[in-house]
Amino acid sequence: MPISYNEPLQVFRLDTPRTTYLMGLAGSEGFLGHIYYGPTVPDDDMRYLLRLEERPGTPDSNPRDRASFFDCFPFEYPSWGGGNFREPCLRVRTACGGGNCILRYVSHRVLSGKPGLEGLPAAFGAEDQCETLEITLRDAEAGVQVVLLYTVFEDTDAICRSARIENIGDAPLEIDSALSAALDMDNEDFDLITLHGSWAREQNIDRRPLASGKQSAFSLRGISSHQFHPFLALCQRGAGQEHGLVYGLSLIYSGSFLVQAETDQFKQVRAVAGIHPDGFSWRLEAGGRFQTPEAVLVCSDAGLGGMSRSYHDLFREHLIRGQRKRRPTLVNSWEACYFDFDHERLLQLGREAARYGIEMLVVDDGWFGKRDDETTSLGDWRVNERKLPGGLKRLGEELAEMGVQLGVWMEPEMISPDSDLYRAHPDYAMTIPGCSPTLARNQLVLDLTRKEVRDCIYEQISSVLRSAPISYLKWDMNRPLTDVYSGVLPPERQGEAGHRYILGLYELQERFVTDFPAVLLENCCSGGGRFDPGMLYYSPQIWTSDNAEAVDRLTIQEGSALIYPLSAMGAHVAACPSHVNGRVTPFRVRGRVSLPGCFGYELDLDKLSPEEQGLIPQQLGEYEQFGPVFRDGDYYRLASCRENHTYDAFMAVAKDKSIAVVNFVQIRSRAYRRSLRLKLAGLEERSRYRLRGSEEVRTGAGWMNGGLLMEAALCEYFSELAVLERVAD
């Protein structure tokens, strides 16, 4: 059993395939403390790590130093008060305005399987795949009860955590902070890893020594954001791709968030994750409950690669729902024609797609309302018959005759001031009474905290999807939340508006995937501004970045693959010179960079040279042949152009170890005639593998220790796929 309780020792034990998580009760008051999280240990009796025999001891043994105990005890779910001066997970204010909350153990139970979280995306698992531990803590004087949830999976080195806060008193409570999880442990010479960026350069890996004080990644934009990501990792200073101890903390949430590591005066580290407390509050009536988003903890003693593969497995098998099969290849109309198209122009794109065997045409922005530029018509999701006589229905039917599916772009959460919807319902926009609204990209945000607004959006989306043979929807969101205000909440409860917006978004997308299960949903937020696990619960793929230029995409996709499976990344061959940065890269290299993700084209196929057009069948063939390995296999990072500025390499290995594909891209000439040696990973040591296209056969150990020699290419750009296939003995 992955979850057990040693009653004599009062120790809870959680075992994943390769890790152990221990926590226990301290003192007569039953404070729940974190004991150990790391590689599997057989011992339950590791309570010595709580240091209860050291000064100050527990409050019952040393009541005069009660505050000192709270200042250093490794609380499993720390709350504010009593002397806990580190970042708490929970801050409440009672009817008197006081803020102390001292949580003590009450009870626990173990459940088979994993219950869902009301209104929130969360990992899932059947009764034979996982177990869930519920631990109830309580402060009877404050009228607060907290139910901690821990889920352990049989097949993945991940632990899912969340908290349910309950008002068991007679008066309302104000929640000022409700984080999802904390992890207290000694600082083992840790480095901190976070992901940062901006529009068109998302998911840059930042690694730095963990210092004293608080270091955080966060968003206050109402979205998980381009700037930071709801994830952090703590790794031993010398940890690399396949060695060293690494802890990961990821949050399944799509709104404003905080992930933070704090080092205190005792060199203890407290890592936390959850909804950002700034601007957040929640009024909890007597008998009410508040559910935090879910955090995913991963521990790996096989370096960053081990952490990545655990996250990939969890997200593939226990978070992404439906549409997990091969994704269709597509061409998107945006960089081909922007707003300037009509029915015949799109049909011509469709003909070109059909000629090459591309399976789908996606009509991007400009097909609705009076949308000839970005200043108008968001919210008016009706076909512009001037551009598309006969509507999407006629276009979809004519494409279907060619064997090409139809997809469309929408931005359902937004409204243009110049729109019929805004003129009829200006109150549908999220604005603060008495204040001039803040425009971004000439648009405002719809107030998704209101049911009538959500219903209006849904009816428009569903009407479009039912009007034509549409197989794909790209759901975009092109601005942050600035004037955060709910039209249905009183002034004293406006601190709930940001989170209620996200709950409304989740409800809206849940309705969509329930009612249109055959339509492939891709989320987007000006590219990767909301590339997070919460969105993955509703869509199996997310547009990784509006920057599809190959060299920049190598860094963006490396950072994304640190947490997310390759199958989640929208990756297209874009126009050249790049419409984002002007760089010129060969068509072959652009194809190899895009190949591992959800493959497609973002350009005018008519404008390709004959040589480039001749490469399309090869690229589609590689996607068809190697897509299953990239989509479902194990990911190993071999080299990073972010670090060496010259070449990039990773490999994907099938789960049964029968085939491995190495994707190598060179972006700068090495200027010498000497091959490059890549030490491979993830192969069976004793099995023999043949390098396709050659007579080279070596054991897995030989390829991993001796390496693969990559030819010396005396040119700026070069790409190669190396395929190793297991051969029978």
- Give the C-alpha separation, 707 to 656, whole Å: 21
427 belongs to the catalytic site: no
List residues bridging with 26 in a β-sheet: 31
Secondary structure class of 461 (helix, strand, coil): helix
**Residue among 328, 13, 338, 371 at smallest CA distance from 159:** 13
Q: Which residue reads 């403390």 in tokens?
A: 33
380 in active site: no
The distance from CA 707 to its chain's CA centroid, rounded to whole angstroms, is 33
Q: Judge contact between 488 and 450, C-beta under 8 A.
A: yes
> Which stretches of 283-361 are DSSP H helices?
303-318, 334-337, 343-356
Question: Is the distance from CB of 661 to CB of 331 less than 8 angstroms?
Answer: no
Residue 385 structure tokens: 């018959």
Task: Name the catalytic one among 301, 365, 476, 648.
Answer: 476
Residue 403's CB is within 10 A of a number of other CB atoms, namely 12
Marked catalytic residue, from 546, 552, 634, 648: 546
Amino acid identity, position 393: K
For the chain, state the CA radius of gyration: 27
- Helices 391-402, 343-356: axis angle to 10 degrees equals 20
- Residue 182: name the closest of 113, 265, 247, 96 by CA: 247
CA distance 697 to 618: 26
Report long-range pairs for 427-432 (Cβ below 8 Å, ≥24 apart).
Answer: 427/487, 428/379, 428/453, 428/456, 430/481, 430/483, 430/484, 430/485, 430/486, 430/487, 430/501, 431/483, 431/485, 432/483, 432/485
Token pair listed for 307: 């952490």
Active site residues: 476, 546
